[in-house]
Amino acid sequence: MSFDNLFNYAYVFVIVSYIYMFLTVGVVWKMYKVYYANHMILKSIVVHRCLFQTFIWMQIANLLFFIFDNIVFRLPSTGLFTELCDYLAPSHLLKVLYMLQLFSNYSSIYYSFLFCLTRLIILFITESHEKICKKLFLVFIPITLITPIIADFYMIPAPGACRRLKPPYPPGAISISYGQSLFNIRTDNFMLGLTFFAPVAILFMNAMVVFKVVGIIRPEFVPYAQLIRNRIIDFGMISVPWIFYFSHPMFHDKTARVSSMT
């Protein structure tokens, strides 16, 4: 490999991502130690236990997603592991890595949603939030474990494979993928829907938190916040149906409807 290729953008992006991720992990680890080890700080700073738990779960899920996303997409895109991937493929080991990346992606989305929902519960149902959160966790956590397996069952018999990446990626860039799947299914429709729904829901819940805090700190701003709140609520309700309508070919012409149903 030439010296010029060593510093192409694929390497730069990977190196930069490691820098900010390591810094983030360090910050989260420090927060964890402060919360569980320094009892003097806990006495003076009110931190809800269920909120901090969901925060740690969210960060662990994000870290796992970062690790497996690097293994499956980012590091292979540098071209360093092209020969190794070609040597291993087809392999169920590559398929397992791909599925772990997908499962960790599910977890990252799920626990980001759970963190925002927990924060909303604490703000609006202050007195009984602990009981509600415990019941929520009992239902939510099994869902995060079961749904990825159900949604991606078609990958189980598929062998792992290497997929060549096209420009603007450099020559030799690849990513880990999978081969012939069950029923020849190639799209995780549940993940597609979750990708549309989760950001809108998280945006909506964060907006609700902001308006609640504004109402506590600056009551005179409540009428203005109410005007914005109403628009955001409407946006949250209508955005997912509109996105689904415009993004799915089934709703546009007769030919697309027939092809999508066959």
Mind listing the pLDDT tens digit for each residue in 34-85? Answer: 777 665 555 555 567 888 888 889 889 988 988 998 888 888 888 888 888 8
- Domain end residue (candidates: 156, 186, 216): 186
**Same domain as 124, residue 24:** yes
Range of the domain at 224: 187-262
pLDDT at 18: 84
**Same domain as 173, residue 89:** yes
Domains: count for the chain:
2
**Same domain as 250, residue 135:** no
**Same domain as 152, residue 70:** yes
User: CA-CA distance, 14 to 75, in Å (whole number)?
Assistant: 7
- Domain end residue (candidates: 130, 162, 186): 186
Flag whether pLDDT at 221 surpasses 80: no
Taking the model in full, what pTM does it have?
Answer: 0.75
- Domain end residue (candidates: 186, 201, 232): 186
User: CA-CA distance, 34 to 210, in Å (whole number)?
Assistant: 26
